[in-house]
Every structure is written in structure tokens, then in C-alpha cells.
Structure 1
Amino acid sequence: MMIFVLLLFLAVLAAWAMFAFNRLVRLRNQVKTAWADIDVQLQRRHDLVPSLVAAVQAYAGHESSTLKAVSELRAQALSQTQPARLGEVEASLERELGRLIALKESYPDLKANQNFAQLQQELVKVEEQLQYARRFYNGAVRDLDNGIQRVPDAFVARVFGFKGAEFFQAEAGSRDAVKVEMTP
């Protein structure tokens, strides 16, 4: 009878460990999938940047500092793999793209350009999808981190080497309120 109870206990323990392991694998894979979704949206954004720069350059070529900053930030973003650092670079790129788009107010021909308007609309769509992808990724990271820190699953996580993931965070300065000036 004692052996039966011991075997039953070991079977329940093994079933729990298998369940916990499979749950942690699912959470880890969800983080990887969410990161891939962010990567797709960032690539779409990066693909739009050269076209936007070219469109603005045709009308406002002397705005070289903004055009150069956007191009350099795009190159930095393409080389980043760490979510935290990529978040900082992408926040800077987003800010510079905002400045690039704002140039249309100073250049009526650029504002009327159909290609520029279409690129701007595509960029807005990408930004919306990117915002959703970031929230989903950070939720997946939170779930994984909770899973590997929660007792008793933490034991399985340590035994099998599960690690937490980095949140995709905005640059510290990008959290400040955006100043918007309305012109009559």
C-alpha cells in the first residue's frame, strides 16, 4: 500500500512537472512569436523610410539634418537585436519621422504631393499595428516572467533553464507629453 501511495505521488509530481514545462514552453514561444510580429512591423516602417526621405528631399532638400537623422536612426534600428536598446532607437526614429512628416506644413507642394500623402497614410497604419504588436509582446513577456517566477513552476523553470525576456520599452524622454501647436 505504501509503495502504491509513493508511486501515485511520483506520478502526480511527474504530471505536474510535465504540465508546468509545457506551459513554460508555450509562454516562451508566445514571446518569440510576439517579437517576430514587432520585427515585421518595424521592417515595414524601415521599408517606408527611404521613400519618405526621397519624397521630402525632392521638395525640401535643404532640411538635410532631419533627413540625415532619419536615415541614420533607420540604420541603427536595423542593426539592433536587444528589445530594450531597440526600443530606445525606435522611439528616436519615431520622433524624427514625426519631424519629417511635419515638414509638409512648411512646403505646400510637398503637402499636395499624392505620393507623400500615401506614404504618410501607410506610416500611420504601420504605427498603429506596431503599437498593438508592442502591447502584445509586453503582455507575453509579463506572462512568461510570471510563469518562471511563480512557485512551484519556478522549480521547473530553473531545472530546464527558462529565462525571462526584456520588455520593449520607450526611451525615457519619449514619455514626456508631446507639445502640439495649432495654427489658425
Structure 2
Amino acid sequence: MARTARGFAALALAVALFGSSGCGYNTLVSEREAVESAWGEVQNQLQRRNDLVPNLVETVRGFAAQEENVLREVTEARSRVGGAATPSEAIEASNQLSNALSRLLVVVERYPELRSNQNFLRLQDELAGTENRLGVARKRYNDAVQRYNTTARRFPTNLVARVFGFEARDYFEAPESARGVPQVDFQRRP
């Protein structure tokens, strides 16, 4: 009899915990959807940047054909972004593209006629605007991940998360190479 009472008490406690966190499942679903939505915006901005890269590469190629290695690195990095299947792969590929674009801008410093080309200047402005939008999208994604991960780890929602397989999400982190401030001077003469 005491065993039955203990079993019933344990069952009642479990029901109470899950009942009090009954909205926990719905909250987790909502937070996960917010992460997915924010990731969609990151992907949108990554695609926008990817769409600008070929025009930028061709403009630079017209002035600096001897810089083929850097241009190839940018093109290959762009392809990796387009072929990324998971957020982790997309983050890594995006970081590689950012590094390649930084090297491309260093090359541009050596060509004053390129720095004054209207098409290049327009593309550079569009790329800068896209990088700003991408930065905002990454921040919103990381904010959504933080809310989701916090919800999924907080008691008693963590019990619901474990039962229903809500996994922690990765943050979009900048690579070590992007954590310093790049020194680019377009006014310097070679």
C-alpha cells in the first residue's frame, strides 16, 4: 500500500511539474521558430552578399588580372557559402568569405584607378551596406539563440526539452581573424 502511495505521489509530482511547465513545450517551439526565422534573415543577407561578389570580382579582375589567386579565393569561398547545408557550415563558410573579401580589399589598395572606378565604388558601398545588414541579422540570430538556449536549460522546461529533443543551438561567432580592426587606407598611394 505504501508503495502504491509513493508511486502515486511520484506520478502526481511528475504531472504537476509537467503541468506547470505545460506551456514549456509551446515556449520551446516558439523560441525554436524565432531562431529559425532569425537564421533565415542571416541566410538572406549571406545570399545578398554572395550575389554582389561576382560583380566585385569581375570589376577587380578588369584592373588587377595579376591578382588571380585572391580573386579565386573569393570565388571559392563564395561557392562554399552557397553549398553550406547546416548553420555551422554556413557560419564557417561565411567567415572564410569575409577573410577572402578582406584580402581583396587589401589588393584594391594597390590600384588607384580601381579605387576611383564608379562601378567599384558602387559595389563597395553595396557590400558595406550588406555587411551592416548581415551584422544586424547575426545579432538578432544570436539573441534568438540565447533566448532559446536559456529557455531550454531552465528548470522545469529543461525536462520538457530533454523529453522532446530540443537541442541547444550554436551562436554565430566571428573567427579570430575578424576580431581585430582591419587597417584599410584607400587614400594611400602605392
> Which TM-score tier does this pair reach, normalised by the shorter chain?
0.7 to 0.9
Offset, 1:87? 2.3
Offset, 1:175? 2.6
Offset, 1:161? 1.8
How many residue pairs get aligned? The number is 178
Partner residue, 2:149: 145
Partner residue, 1:52: 56
Output the CA distance in 1 between the equivalents of 2:152 and 2:128.
36
Offset, 1:180? 5.2
Contact 1:101 1:120 in 2 (8 A): no
- Superposition pairs of residues 1-184 of structure 1, within 5 angstroms: 16-179=20-183, 183=188
Contact 1:88 1:170 in 2 (8 A): no
Secondary structure at the counterpart of residue 34 of structure 1 = helix
The answer to which of 68-77 and 158-167 deviates more is 158-167
Output the CA distance in 2 between the equivalents of 1:156 and 1:26.
14
Secondary structure at the counterpart of residue 174 of structure 2 = coil
Contact 1:52 1:116 in 2 (8 A): yes
Contact 1:87 1:171 in 2 (8 A): no
Segments of structure 2 that go 5 or more residues without pairing to the other structure are: 1-8
Give, as a single letter, the amino acid of the residue that structure 1 aligns with 2:141: Y
Output the CA distance in 2 between the equivalents of 1:152 and 1:117.
54
Structure 2 vs 1, CA of residues 11 and 105 (structure 1 numbering), >3 Å: closer, same or farther?
Answer: closer
Output the CA distance in 1 between the equivalents of 2:109 and 2:163.
59
Offset, 1:115? 1.1
Output the CA distance in 1 between the equivalents of 2:181 and 2:132.
19
Output the CA distance in 2 between the equivalents of 1:104 and 1:178.
14
Query: After TM superposition, where is structure 1 displaced by more than 6 Å over at least 4 residues in a row?
Result: 9-12
Output the CA distance in 2 between the equivalents of 1:10 and 1:109.
72
Structure 2 vs 1, CA of residues 154 and 84 (structure 1 numbering), >3 Å: closer, same or farther?
Answer: same
Structure 2 vs 1, CA of residues 180 and 58 (structure 1 numbering), >3 Å: closer, same or farther?
Answer: closer
Q: Between the two proteins, what is the percent identity of the paired residues?
A: 37
The answer to which of 68-77 and 152-161 deviates more is 152-161
The answer to which of 129-138 and 168-177 deviates more is 168-177
Give, as a single letter, the amino acid of the residue that structure 2 aligns with 1:45: R
Contact 1:46 1:74 in 2 (8 A): yes
Segments of structure 1 that go 5 or more residues without pairing to the other structure are: 1-5
Structure 2 vs 1, CA of residues 107 and 178 (structure 1 numbering), >3 Å: closer, same or farther?
Answer: closer
